[in-house]
A = this chain, B = another copy of it.
């Protein structure tokens, strides 16, 4: 079937049918939305059409087909390559851009969309394609609130844990990379830790329950430190920066003695030294945020 039947669900168009775009389109189809798809490189929509999607002949046709237009392509250059020629079709449409990029690219896109008389919402999908459509999947949105409010039901089909963050279109991108950064920082340290205990023939799975328990405890420290940062008071309830220094040096020396890259503890020691030199030896670890504040 390739006709658009009336299902009472918002018609949607998905531009870009790579792995992620296809997962989005398939989720809409499964939920009963009349779904139109288009991909710049031809021949990539066959499977979706077989599942009930309508294949548009071009970007303008895809945009015209639905009030809600999703674009999910490789990068922002690709967004412009597909949308610029179809700009006039965007008038009155809600454009939801799920392409990965920087906060500045998202803000520039929001301006471009507004000038095109479209309502713009930017989004960051915090999961891989197989998880699109799951109740626990989060897509973070920012931009024009009305776009989220009007199309809330359709957008929540894509990820049940999705959230609207605010009117600044760049915020979703910022959250995206900031959250991923916490993940990489944690995983890199975990790999370092596994190598350390591995030197004493301890398996990663033997070490895992200890790592998991300590990881969970670290999550609770984040709440205290977030409070410290917001109020600008860095009371060390448990361990002050000067208390952290000796064990950081133990980790550094232990790593070096074992021939394990000490770049991570070396960086941590430099952060402690910097903050202590600035007179914050008695402060909580939250004081480290100063190092990451933008240079002005």
- A residues with a Cβ closer than 8 A to B are 100-104, 126, 128, 130-131, 138, 140, 163, 166, 168, 170-171, 173-200, 202-205, 207-208, 210-219, 221-223, 225-227, 229-230, 238-239, 243-244, 246-248, 250-251, 253-254, 257-261, 263-265, 267-268, 271, 285-286, 288-289, 291-296
Chain A interface, DSSP helix/strand/loop, else mixed: helix
Q: How far is the CB of A182 from chain B (nearest CB, A)?
A: 5
Known: A174-B199, A195-B294. A179 touches B211 (CB 8 A): yes
Among B171, B184, B221, the residue within 8 A (CB) of A200 is: B171
Q: Are A261 and B292 in contact (CB under 8 A)?
A: yes
What 3 A-B pairs are tightest by C-beta distance, nearest first?
A185-B189, A195-B292, A178-B193
Q: How far is the CB of A213 from chain B (nearest CB, A)?
A: 8
Among B102, B247, B259, B264, the residue within 8 A (CB) of A176 is: B247
Other than the given A178-B196, A184-B264, 13 more pairs (CB < 8 A) read A102-B250, A174-B254, A177-B247, A178-B192, A178-B194, A178-B207, A181-B265, A182-B218, A183-B214, A185-B185, A187-B221, A190-B222, A208-B223
Q: Which residue on B lies nearest to A171, using beta carbons?
A: B200
- CB-defined contacts of A175 to chain B, threshold 8 Å: 197, 207, 210
